[in-house]
Amino acid sequence: MIRTLYNELKKWQLSPTRKPLVLLGARQVGKTWLLEEFGRNEYSKVAFASLDRNDAVADLLRTEKNVDRILRGLSALLSVDITPGNTLIILDEIQDCPEALERMKVFCEDAPEFHVAVAGSLLGISLHSGVSYPVGKVDELTLYPMTFEEFIVAKGKEEMCNILKAHDWNLIASISDEYIDLLRQYYYVGGMPAAVKAYIEGMGLQAVRNEQKKIIFDYENDFSKHASARIVPRIRMVWQSLVSQLAKENKKFVYGALKKGARANDFEEAIQWLIDAGIVYKVRRVTSVAMPLKFYEDLDAFKLFILDVGLMGAMADVPAGLVLVGNNIFKEYKGSFTETYVCTQLVAAKIPLYYHTVEQSRIELDFVIQLSDNVYPVEVKAEENVKAKSMKVFIDSHPQLSGIRLSMKDYIKQSWIENIPLYAFPSYLNERSLM
């Protein structure tokens, strides 16, 4: 599989100001595989240790602070002659040994010629639990589930991905049926590498769903293993409510949906745990669609999205036939699947996103995004039928803005709005975010 972040790893490798790398990301998004693949391809040697299984390496990093002795110990324990420049040291599951993260400071200061990369599935949780983070002494990258573009390439359709990137809208329109079919497949499979691998290797739809269920089980198992016993029941309540909350017309997260009389104070910590674990994304409301959006955050109103559209379908037990056959997925599950898809692509593109509602009216903008020096209201439509008053009414009252509509219609640019096909949205984002 080809991951876009691989190119960022190569830039890190060649950077004259390179520091030890911290690779962030939720469990099972492919961090370990990517680092090992990178090491095999770009280095002569790889020194790999998983700190949840290699007690000797964990003990070494826990007790030793001298970088020369650390390097000698790693070479001996991992049976690798670690040399500057051509050896990649990979320390996985680093959250199981917080001291190892602290040692990145001595690597940065005393041995910058050595290439070190660390990863941890629940590192975000650890950082909120008193771990001393080497601020300014590490580089950071974040890996997300595979995007739609990465999925297309994994399917062996790299040329179709290149066509999207070229924005040849006439050619794209002529083969739109195939793009729609690929998007439908992505809605079912999602971007978790294990599920994508099962799908592209022809193991069958049930095998894909089994992989998704295993991942969900692992996430839920982490609640009990790594969260405070005090908040575990609340984490489960939030997690189990996400599908039904996303299915509502108004997707604002409602505490009362968890239990009668529930308040923010009761569940804020549980929600933050899920966000820190990287398995839930929070999209805040803004009170005004203006630059910079962060100035106008409403801290009390937000939506919560699951990190992967395929996992969402597995959590809802949506049958494969409803996703892969006909257009039912774009009609019956349009809000849940389509908005989750859009949200995950925006997050992976590292684009700040919010949503907006106009008080004392029924106008709601599904998302508001910031690209370069402009903000754009975004309307999400799951079908070709794009009739809706919210966006037009909003733009009429804010003529300085132009909108983006995402739908199954072909590309259209009007004076007040640009319609982008849903399947072309990730490539559109990549271009606009670089402008």
pTM of the complete model: 0.94
Over 70: is that where the pLDDT of 166 sits? yes
- Same domain for 154 and 87: no
- Same domain for 253 and 203: yes
Helix axes 425-434, 158-166, angle to 10 degrees: 50
pLDDT, average across residues 111-117: 98
Q: Is residue 304 classed as helix, strand or coil in its secondary structure?
A: strand
- Same domain for 226 and 81: no
Q: What is the percentage of the chain residues whose pLDDT exceeds 70?
A: 93
Which pLDDT value is given to residue 219?
96
pLDDT band of 129, cuts 50, 70, 90: low
- Same domain for 171 and 75: no
Which of 142, 160, 182 terminates a domain? The answer is 142
Which pLDDT value is given to residue 383?
74
Domain that residue 110 falls in: 5-142
Task: List the single range of 81-95, 192-206, 380-394 with lowest mean pLDDT.
Answer: 380-394
Q: 90-114: b or e for each residue (b if 16 or more CB lie within 10 Å)?
A: bbbbbbbbbbbbbbbbbbbeeeeeb
Decide: 329 and 184 in contact? Cβ < 8 Å.
Answer: yes
Which pLDDT value is given to residue 382?
79
Count up the domains in the chain and report the number.
Answer: 2
Over 80: is that where the pLDDT of 215 sits? yes
- Same domain for 353 and 228: yes
Burial class (CB in 10 A: 0-12, 13-18, 19+), 402: middle
pLDDT in tens, 233-251: 999 999 999 999 988 878 8
Distance separating the N- and C-terminal Cα atoms of the chain: 28
Q: Which two tokens stand for residue 383?
A: 């079908």
Which of 142, 165, 181 terminates a domain? The answer is 142
Task: List the single range of 119-128, 279-288, 321-330, 383-392 with lowest mean pLDDT.
Answer: 321-330
- Same domain for 174 and 127: no
Q: Which helix (H) or strand (E) holds 116?
A: strand 115-119
- Same domain for 291 and 212: yes
Better-predicted residue by pLDDT, 421 or 318: 421
CATH number at 60 reads: 3.40.50.300
Question: What torsion, rounded to 10 degrees, do the Cα atoms 217, 144, 181, 251 define?
Answer: 70
Which pLDDT value is given to residue 328?
54
- Same domain for 333 and 246: yes
- Same domain for 109 and 88: yes
- Same domain for 334 and 185: yes
Q: Report how far residue 351's alpha carbon sits from residue 318's, in angstroms, rounded to the nearest whole number.
A: 29
Over 90: is that where the pLDDT of 135 sits? no
pLDDT in tens, 333-353: 557 889 999 999 999 999 999
pLDDT band of 127, cuts 50, 70, 90: low
Which pLDDT value is given to residue 385?
67
- Same domain for 255 and 357: yes
Which of 120, 142, 164 terminates a domain? The answer is 142
Q: What angle do CA 415, 420, 426 make, to 5 degrees?
A: 135
Which pLDDT value is given to residue 121?
82
Which pLDDT value is given to residue 331?
55
- Same domain for 97 and 77: yes
Q: Is residue 425 classed as helix, strand or coil in its secondary structure?
A: helix
| β-pairing verdict for 364-371 and 374-380 | antiparallel
| β-pairing verdict for 412-413 and 364-371 | unpaired
